[in-house]
Structure 1
Amino acid sequence: MTETFAALLLAHVSADFLLQSNWMAGAKQARHPGALLLHGIIVLATATLLIAPRDATAMAPLLLLTGAHLLIDLAKTLAPGKSLGAFLADQAAHLASLVAIAWVFPMLAPSGWLGGLPLAAPVMVLLAGAVISVQAGGYAIGLLVQPFGRSFRAEGLPRGGKLIGQLERGLIYFLILVGQPSAVGFLIAAKSVLRFDASRRRQKAAEYVIIGTLASFGWAVICAYAVLGLLQAYPPLGFLALDP
């Protein structure tokens, strides 16, 4: 079951956060049939690639998973507007569907072409955690601070704040995984020094930065420790904080 879940998790985050464009996400929210069909094809393709089935019988669970994914996406369109709560509920529903498929079809991944590779599953978990921390975290934090950003005009490089957030979450994720959580404090201090002069002159900007920074750091910390906990069910990789 754990191998199947790892493959399906990486497939899901790849389809939702790496291979889904802004146009596709917006068109899905508007229930555009072409966007839903394209997204469904991507979901099925990523799951098939990472499960790597040896025969066609494994396609039935993957088609079932794809159908559940699209139904969840359609249900999300009923939510009024975009909000962090709706995003988290949507992802929780997707996670539940992954667990259900892995529970009912535990040998889906072990019977595939990658089933003989003992480290394939933990590496998939690591990669999925990185995507959730960096990419999904950016979307979640954006939804959280979106209402506050309307109260002042943002300054700086185009997409600069987004890139900074991705880099900081990636660094935090890595530092915790290799057993250096204390280094996160130095990262917080460095960002505070760099932002101090610009923020102290504008209270709204300072509060906006503080909210975004704390949420971004917290998201990355939670992702890292969740991955470390999940990896206890897999063979050790030899370089992580909780490896024997």
Structure 2
Amino acid sequence: MLSLFIKLILAHLIGDFLLQPEKWAKHKAKHKLGSKYLYWHLLVHAIALLVVLQFNVEYWLAFCIIISSHFFIDVAKAQFKTKKNSRLLFALDQLAHLSVIALVVEVYTPYLNKISAIDYNQALLLTASIIAVTSTSSIIMKTIISKWNIDEDAGKEHSLEHAGAYIGILERLFVFLFVVLQFWEGIGFLLAAKSIFRFGDLSRSKDRKLTEYVLIGSLISFGLAMLIGLLYLKIAREL
């Protein structure tokens, strides 16, 4: 049961976050059913599902349920999405996808012992966790803090292109690693080091909004990485 759940979650993370460019998401929101990227997105999901399920024909019903439901959920999201409700719809969208996955796992539970396939549970769990802590967390953070408008061009001439995004990804990977290794002191050291480096820039900027924006982003980033790390440890013990 847990093995199938991990596989389906991994396919979802790959299709919905890792291999869905922002360009595709915006095009789907604008053109809805007429967006070619809606169908490219479904194709990516289909391939990801086939790979993680190891092309096992016993899972044909699960494949059909997930792909068809994904289509209708994404179309509904595009139809009702506005700037004001984007965060709520993002949460509902993910909840709907996860509910379908949970339903599929529940349906297949009585038959799982009869389905023969090679399981790489630990590797699949680690892969899903790394995707969640990098690209998935980046999108979640962007969705949460998008309600605050900060001048993104301010100081851009003194910053490397996309440096903030890469720093955030590395930061969360380190936190995830420290949680898995139970090295809590490392998280404290990382947070302290970031605070020291950031303090000079923020104190010189004299911009209260920017200070609060960075603080909120840092706390969300650390919180997500710690949560994913703890979930990884809990699930890994049960495999």
TM-score, normalised to structure 1, is 0.86
Once the two structures are overlaid, the 10-residue window that deviates more, 25-34 or 166-175, is 25-34
Equivalents in 2 of 1:207, 1:149: separation in Å? 12
Taking a change above 3 Å as real, the CA distance of residues 20 and 108 of structure 1, as seen in their structure-2 partners, is farther
Partner of 1:111: 115
Equivalents in 1 of 2:161, 2:146: separation in Å? 16
Alignment map for 1:103-142 (pairs within 5 Å) = 103-106=106-109, 107=111, 111=115, 115-117=117-119, 120-142=120-142
Equivalents in 1 of 2:88, 2:160: separation in Å? 29
1:68, CA displacement in angstroms?
A: 0.9
Partner of 1:9: 9
Partner of 2:238: 233
Taking a change above 3 Å as real, the CA distance of residues 110 and 160 of structure 1, as seen in their structure-2 partners, is farther
Equivalents in 1 of 2:152, 2:35: separation in Å? 37
Q: How high is the sequence identity, in percent, across the aligned residues?
A: 27
Taking a change above 3 Å as real, the CA distance of residues 13 and 4 of structure 1, as seen in their structure-2 partners, is same
Partner of 1:239: none
* Aligned partner (choices 163, 170, 174) of residue 171 of structure 1: 174
1:108, CA displacement in angstroms?
A: 6.0
Alignment map for 1:1-244 (pairs within 5 Å) = 1-30=1-30, 31=32, 32-55=34-57, 57-77=58-78, 78-81=80-83, 83-106=86-109, 107=111, 111=115, 115-117=117-119, 120-150=120-150, 153-155=153-155, 156-202=159-205, 203=207, 204-234=209-239
Equivalents in 2 of 1:110, 1:164: separation in Å? 45
Alpha carbons 2:145, 2:217 under 8 Å: kept: yes
Equivalents in 1 of 2:102, 2:19: separation in Å? 22
Partner of 1:238: none
Q: Which consecutive unaligned segments of at least 5 residues does structure 2 have?
A: none
Which one has the bigger helix percentage?
2
Alpha carbons 1:4, 1:102 under 8 Å: kept: yes
Alpha carbons 2:29, 2:81 under 8 Å: kept: no
Alpha carbons 1:177, 1:224 under 8 Å: kept: yes
